[in-house]
Amino acid sequence: MEKLIKNLKENEYILLKSKDDLTFEHSKNTHLYRMTGFSGTAGEAVIDKSGKITLFVDPRYHIQADKETDGKNINVVKMDMKTNLIIALKKNLPKGSTLFVPSKSTRYAIFDLFKKTLSKINITPYETEDEPAKAAAVEEISLDICGVSYDKKIDKLKKRIKGQNIFISSMEDVSYLLNLRSFDEINTSVIKAKMLILKDKTVLFSNDKMPSLNGIEIYPFKRMNEILSKIKEPVLIDENTISLYDFNLIKNPKISASNQIVKMASIKNRAEIKHYKESFKRLDKALYAFKSRIKAGISEFELKDIFEEELIKAGARCTSFKTILAIGENSSSIHYSNYDKNKILKDGDIILLDCGGYYEGGYATDITRVFLCGNRASDKVKEIYTAVLRAQLNCYFTDLPQTKDLDDLARKILKKYEKQGFLFPHSLGHGVGIPVHQAPPTLTPAPKYNKKLQNNMVFTIEPGLYKEGEFGVRLENTVYFNNKKKITLSRFPYEENLTDKKMLNKKEQKWFEIWQNMAKEALLED
C-alpha cells in the first residue's frame, strides 16, 4: 500500500475499504482503520498522493467519524439516506482522475457499477497483500437446530439452478448450506470458506479445520485459482457477493438472476424458529441480569463488560455483533461503541444498549433497549422515548405485509420531531439469519427494496430518534412473520419510568399493556 501511495500521480486516488475479502466486519487490520482510526462497521475512503484522506460515511456514523478523525488530515463526507458512495465519489473526484480499487474486497457488481456510472473517472483494480487466513475450528450444527441436512440443501439448490455449475463466494451462504459454524472470532459464526458445485463434484475451499463431509472434496484456498481456471463451462456467480478478483479467476462466469441460497436461508424452517425462540429467551435473561446491575458510578466501559459477562453466563458463545452501549449524549451516535472509561453513569442518565449473541446454532440475535439509571427521567427524554415506543408498537401490532409500508408508518409517527432536531436517519429494520444483517427482507423507504413479507422471515423492527449533543433512543425487537402476523422473538419489557402514557392513545395503551404482560409471563415461564 505504501508503495502504491508513493507512486500516485496528480488526480490519482486509492479506495480504502473497511472490510477485506475474508473479513466479516470492520477489522483493525484494514488500511482504512490504520490510516483513519475510523472503527465503524461500514465505510470507505480515498487517499491522494499528498496523503489527504476523504472518508465517506452514512448517517449511522456521522458523529463517530467526526470524533475518531478529529485533528487528522481527513475530510469527512456525511452521506444522507439518498446518497450512496458512487454519488459521493462523483461529487468529490475530478473528471479525468483515476481511482484504484482493491480487487479482493470490491464486489464485482460494485466494480461494474463504478465503471458504468463513474464514466468520467478511470477505474483501475489493484491487488492487496492479504494475511493468510488462520485455521479455525469448525462445528457441525445438529439437525434439531438447522432442520435440514447439508446434502438435502445442496440437492434443493441444484434443482433451483437446474443443474448448472455454481461458485459460492459468500461465506455466510456456505455456512448456511453446509450447516457449519465457527466461533473462533467474536461477532460472527460463519466459516471462512468458498464453494464450487459442479455437475460431477462439489469442492470446498478453506484453511479452517473442517470435519469430514461426505461427497465433498476439501482444498486449501491456495488451490482455488488452479481449480477454477480449469473449468471451461459456464459457472453461475452472484455478482453482489463475488469479489472482482474471484470473478476474474472464472473463465466463463454467468451472472445469476438472483441468489437462490439467500432466498432459501431467508425462510426459516420449524427447527430454526424453535432455536430462535430459545436463543432469545437466553438473551432476555442476560438483559434482566444486566438491568439489575445498573447503578450510578459505573463507567460505559464497565457497563459493556457487565452486559457481555451476563450474555456469556446465559449461554451465548459470543456476541453476534460489536455491542453498542452508550450513556446520555453518546447515545445520539447510532452505532456508538467507543465505551469511554471516563463517562460515568449518573442518576437520571439513560443507557442505550443494542446487543445480541450467537448460541450453539450460530444464528444471530439482535435487540435494542434504553434503560434508565434511577427512577426519574427528564420530560424531554420521556417524550422522545414514548414517541419511539409509539412507532414500535404501531409497526408491530398493525398488519402491514409490505416492508415499505411499515417503514412509512414509523416515519409518519416520528416526522414531527424533526423540528426539534431529533432525526430518524436509518432504515426501520433488516432480515436476520447467520449474519445479523441478512436480506431479504429490508425495511427501508427505498421503493426498490419493497417486498411482501413471507411466512417465517425473521427480521427486526427498530425505529429511533437521535439529536447530536443531546441523546438518542432506539427500540428494537426481532420478530418473524406468520399468517399475516408478526410474532416477536424478543419478549423483554419496555421501561415504565421512561414512558409517558398520556402520549399513548387508547389503542396504543392496550398494545403497551399486552406487551408488558407478555414479558411478565415470559419471565414466569423461566
Q: What is the pLDDT of residues 404-461, one digit of tens each?
A: 999 999 999 999 999 999 999 999 999 999 999 998 999 999 999 999 999 999 999 9
Average pLDDT of the segment spanning 51-74:
91
Which of 8-22, 144-158, 450-464 has the least mean pLDDT? 8-22
Residue 349's SS3 state is coil
For residue 24, pLDDT over 70 is answered with no
Question: Which residues neighbour 236 within 8 Å (Cβ) at sequence distance 6 or greater?
Answer: 161, 164, 165, 166, 167, 254, 255, 256
Contact 205, 220 (CB under 8 A): yes
For residue 42, pLDDT over 90 is answered with no
Residue 244 has a CB neighbour count (10 Å cut-off) of: 21
Residue 358's SS3 state is strand
Q: Where residue 379 falls among pLDDT bands split at 50, 70, 90? A: very high
Contact 398, 419 (CB under 8 A): no
Average pLDDT of the segment spanning 118-147:
87
Q: Grid cell 471516563 — which residue?
A: 342
Chain centre to alpha carbon of residue 187 = 10
**Residue 227, amino acid:** I
Question: Which residues neighbour 313 within 8 Å (Cβ) at sequence distance 6 or greater?
Answer: 286, 289
Residues 432 and 481: their CA atoms lie apart, in Å, by: 12
Average pLDDT of the segment spanning 266-290:
98
Per cent of the chain over pLDDT 70 is: 97
Chain centre to alpha carbon of residue 102 = 22
Which of 45-49, 58-62, 518-522 has the least mean pLDDT? 58-62
Residues 136 and 187: their CA atoms lie apart, in Å, by: 15
Q: Where residue 54 falls among pLDDT bands split at 50, 70, 90? A: very high
Chain centre to alpha carbon of residue 71 = 29
Which of 105-119, 127-141, 319-333 has the least mean pLDDT? 127-141
Q: What is the pLDDT of residues 89-98, one digit of tens each?
A: 999 999 999 9
Contact 98, 122 (CB under 8 A): yes
State the chain's mean pLDDT as an integer: 94
What is the reported pLDDT for 6?
Answer: 84
Q: Where residue 525 falls among pLDDT bands split at 50, 70, 90? A: confident
For residue 482, pLDDT over 90 is answered with yes
Average pLDDT of the segment spanning 62-76:
90
Average pLDDT of the segment spanning 454-475:
97
For residue 249, pLDDT over 60 is answered with yes
Residue 21 has a CB neighbour count (10 Å cut-off) of: 20
Please, what sign has the CA dihedral across residues 290, 296, 302, 304? Answer: positive
Q: Grid cell 463451462 — which residue?
A: 233
What is the reported pLDDT for 146?
Answer: 98
Per cent of the chain over pLDDT 90 is: 85
Residues 144 and 377: their CA atoms lie apart, in Å, by: 45
What is the reported pLDDT for 105?
Answer: 87
For residue 27, pLDDT over 60 is answered with no
Which three three-digit cell numbers place residue 335?
452505532
Peptide bond into 441 cis (omega under 30): yes
Q: What is the pLDDT of residues 494-513, one digit of tens each?
A: 999 999 999 999 999 999 99
- Write the secondary structure of 276-306 as one string of H (helix), E (strand) and C (coil): HHHHHHHHHHHHHHHHHCCCCCCEHHHHHHH
Question: Which residues neighbour 230 within 8 Å (Cβ) at sequence distance 6 or greater?
Answer: none
Residue 468 has a CB neighbour count (10 Å cut-off) of: 15
For residue 185, the number of C-alpha atoms closer than 13 Å in the C-beta half-sphere is 20
299 phi/psi in degrees, rounded to 5? -85, 165
List the one residue out of 62, 38, 57, 40 whose CA is nearest residue 466.
Answer: 62
Q: CA dist 500 to 111, 242, 294, 421, Å?
A: 50, 49, 22, 20
Model-wide pTM > 0.75: yes
What is the reported pLDDT for 25?
Answer: 53
Question: Which residues neighbour 517 within 8 Å (Cβ) at sequence distance 6 or greater?
Answer: none
What is the reported pLDDT for 121?
Answer: 95
